[in-house]
Amino acid sequence: MATNPTPEQAARYILEIIVKKFKASAGMNLMANNLTTLFSTGEWQSSDQIAGLEYAVQHGWITVRENIIILTDDGYAAA
């Protein structure tokens, strides 16, 4: 990215990966390392992923338990 992405942009990219790449629906689980592999392509930084995950959790789009990310109904709708 030419400029630093916002946490919201990173969170929406995370949702895009979960829904489009993994074809997940609400309630489905995803191993965090699978997300990290796809998120780290291009110019995204690990700090962007962390900020995006925090934003997504704060907005109820995902829940995170240890190494598992769970897509919520709101997260699926936001994607």
Give the orientation angle of helix 7-16 with respect to helix 32-39, to 10 degrees.
Answer: 110
pTM given for the model: 0.91
Farthest-apart Cα atoms in the chain, separation: 34
pLDDT in single tens digits along all 79 residues of the chain: 457 899 999 999 999 999 999 999 999 999 999 998 888 877 889 999 999 999 999 999 999 999 999 999 999 999 9
Cα distance between residue 14 and residue 8, in whole Å? 10
